[in-house]
C-alpha cells in the first residue's frame, strides 16, 4: 500500500541510520529523513521496482545523521511476497564510506595518469607495476599489459631485485623521495631519468607512485 516500516532490525541500525530498532517498528520516517535528499527518489524508486518485480534490491546511497558527516551506505536484500500481498525484504545495510573515498581518490589518480606528459608508474610493495600511463608505455616501447607483468627491476638496471625492499622502506619512511637513475627501453636503450617517488596509502593498500622524467 506504499507504506514502509522495519519490523526486525539489529542494533547496528544506530550506526547506519541513527535510530533504534524500536523507532522503525511501525514507521519508516526515522530512516527516510536521514537519507540524503538528492538520493531519496532513487532509493524509493529502486525499492518500488523490487517490490513490483520481486527482484534483488541493491542500492548505494548517502545518509546524513544529524551532527555527523555524510555516510555512504550499501543496501542489499532479497524480497518475498507474503500471503497478505505485502512484500518484505531480508538483507543488510553496510557503511561503505571508506570504500567510496578510496574510489574518489583513484578517479583523481586516473585523471593524473591520463593527462600528465611525464611517465607515471604505480607499484606495489614487491615492486610489480599495478598501473602505468600512456606516456610510460610510449617512452619504454612496451604495451600496458607488458608493463603490468613487469617489476621495477626489469626496466631499471640500477635497481636489482634484492635492492628494491630497502628502496621501498626508504620511500615509505620519507613519503616523497627524488632519485636519479636509468631506465631501459624494450629495444635495449638505456637513458637517465629523474624520479619523484611518493608513498601513498589507499585504505589497506600501500602503493608508490613515481613520476619519471627523461633527463
pLDDT in tens, 49-90: 999 999 999 899 999 999 999 999 999 999 999 999 999 999
Q: What is the SS3 string spanning 59-118?
A: EEEEECCCCCCCEEEEEEEEEEECCCCCEEEEEEEEECHHHHHHHHHHHHHHHHHHHCCC
- Contacts of residue 14, defined as CB under 8 A and 6 or more positions apart, other chains included, come to 20
* pTM for the whole structure: 0.54
pLDDT digits (tens, 9 = 90+) for 135-174: 889 989 999 899 999 988 888 776 777 888 888 898 888 8
Amino acid at each position: 500500500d506504499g507504506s514502509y516500516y522495519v519490523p526486525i532490525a539489529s542494533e547496528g541500525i544506530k550506526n547506519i541510520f541513527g535510530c533504534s530498532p524500536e523507532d522503525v517498528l511501525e514507521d519508516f520516517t526515522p530512516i527516510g529523513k536521514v537519507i540524503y535528499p538528492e538520493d531519496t527518489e532513487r532509493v524509493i524508486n529502486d525499492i518500488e521496482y523490487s517490490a513490483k518485480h520481486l527482484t534483488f534490491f541493491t542500492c548505494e546511497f548517502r545518509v546524513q545523521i544529524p551532527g555527523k558527516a555524510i555516510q555512504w551506505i550499501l543496501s542489499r536484500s532479497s524480497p518475498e511476497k507474503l500471503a497478505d500481498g505485502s512484500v518484505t525484504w531480508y538483507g543488510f545495510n553496510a557503511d561503505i564510506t571508506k570504500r567510496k573515498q578510496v574510489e574518489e581518490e583513484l578517479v583523481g589518480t586516473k585523471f593524473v595518469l591520463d593527462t600528465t606528459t611525464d611517465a607515471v608508474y604505480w607499484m606495489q610493495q614487491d615492486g610489480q607495476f599495478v598501473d602505468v600511463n600512456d606516456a610510460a608505455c610510449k617512452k619504454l616501447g612496451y604495451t600496458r599489459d607488458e608493463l603490468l607483468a613487469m617489476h621495477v627491476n626489469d626496466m631499471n638496471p640500477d635497481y636489482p631485485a634484492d635492492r628494491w625492499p630497502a628502496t621501498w622502506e626508504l620511500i615509505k619512511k620519507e613519503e616523497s623521495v627524488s632519485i636519479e637513475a636509468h631506465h631501459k627501453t624494450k629495444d635495449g636503450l638505456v637513458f637517465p631519468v629523474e624520479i619523484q617517488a611518493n608513498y601513498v596509502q589507499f585504505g589497506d593498500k600501500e602503493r608508490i607512485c613515481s613520476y619519471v622524467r627523461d633527463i
